[in-house]
Amino acid sequence: MEYTQLGRTGLKVSRLCLGTMNFGPQTDEADSHAIMDAAHAHGINFFDTANVYGWGENRGRTEEIIGTWFAQNGGRRERTVLATKLYGDMGDWPNEGKLSALNIRRACDASLRRMQTDYIDLYQMHHIDRATPWDEIWEAMDVLRQQGKILYVGSSNFAGWHIAQGQEAARRRGGLGLVSEQSIYNLIERTVELEVLPAAQHYGLGVIPWSPLHGGLLGGVLRKEAEGSAARSTTGRAADAIGKHRPAIEAWEAWCAARGEDPADVALAWLLHQPAVTAPIIGPRTMAQLDGGVRALDITLDATALTALDEIFPGPGGTAPEAYAW
């Protein structure tokens, strides 16, 4: 396993981040525990979750599964850089979501209870809260840090100017501010290259891409569809997405086949070659998917390969404003 610093911090994390969103809804507790043990065996020390995972009436279930895994001891908690998120509503009563000081306090305490730990390494805002002032957010986060309940603060799904807002507000308070941004980023969805990635690099944030396979479209979906082995539905919205991107996906799968590589592994490897990226999130439902994801670390893409992939999936054309103006 390779390790890198998380943004401008001294914290070392693995180049792959274990996403746990499937734990509970798709993967039962026993298999989830086995996958987390296997992740440690591979050297993955960076785990990501969120308080809403489990979804609906089962919100919080994923954090509970992580908690029962930590409770087995064996150094599990000590060897894990634990990231979770808050923002989504955890109930139907006012102040059970968003980023008010009240919810930040309550949500953190609830996550700590569910995960059976006394601190969170990286506490991430799952979305921007336009109704809450930055001074309120940072004051609440500072209190959590002073109490030893969190170590670092990150963002997720922020625009570039939100990152700038947050960092400048933290700077006025003399604080560290954000250390990471978790964004959707993959070969198909490259919008963050316009302003989010430049903002993250300017302020020293590590970038943690989610949905690296774009909902499976970059995971060999056409080959699996032809073989009848597609794990996800290829009807409805999924079929519309395939139809929209079919020429590019066909070229992509042919290019990967010519190299003798699985498309899913190459998609992860491409992200690992992007200078702003700290660790893509892999969200395995099975042990085989975890083992496959680790294979991406062994794939090297030279300048010729990266240029070929830019031709298949052009992206926005670079950073703003040059991507759309002179």
Cβ atoms of residues 95 and 129 within 8 Å: no
The DSSP output letter for 317 is S
Tell me: the pLDDT tens digits for 167-207? 999 999 999 999 999 999 999 999 999 999 999 999 999 99
- How is 196-210 classified by DSSP, letter by letter? HHHHHHHHT-EEEEE
Please, how many CA atoms are within 13 Å of residue 25, restricted to the half-sphere of its CB? Answer: 14
If you search the block for the tokens 């963002």, which residue do you land on? 155
Q: Tell me how far apart the alpha carbons of residues 51 and 58 are, in angstroms, rounded to a whole number.
A: 10
The number of beta carbons lying within 10 Å of the beta carbon of residue 207 is 23
pLDDT for 246: 94
Report the distance separating Cα 309 and Cα 198, nearest Å.
Answer: 21
The per-residue pLDDT for range 94-113, each reduced to its tens digit, is 999 999 999 999 999 999 99
Assess whether pLDDT exceeds 80 at residue 230. no
Can you list the domains of the chain with their CATH numbers?
Answer: 3-312 (3.20.20.100)
Confidence (pLDDT) at 227? 86
Is residue 53 among the annotated active site residues?
Answer: yes
At 228, the pLDDT band (50, 70, 90 cuts) reads confident
Task: Give me the catalytic one of 53, 123, 185, 203.
Answer: 53
Residue type at 164 in one-letter notation: A
Mean pLDDT of 217-222: 94
Say whether pLDDT at 233 is over 80: no
| Beta strand spans in 115-199 (E) | 120-125, 150-156, 178-184
pLDDT of residue 292: 86
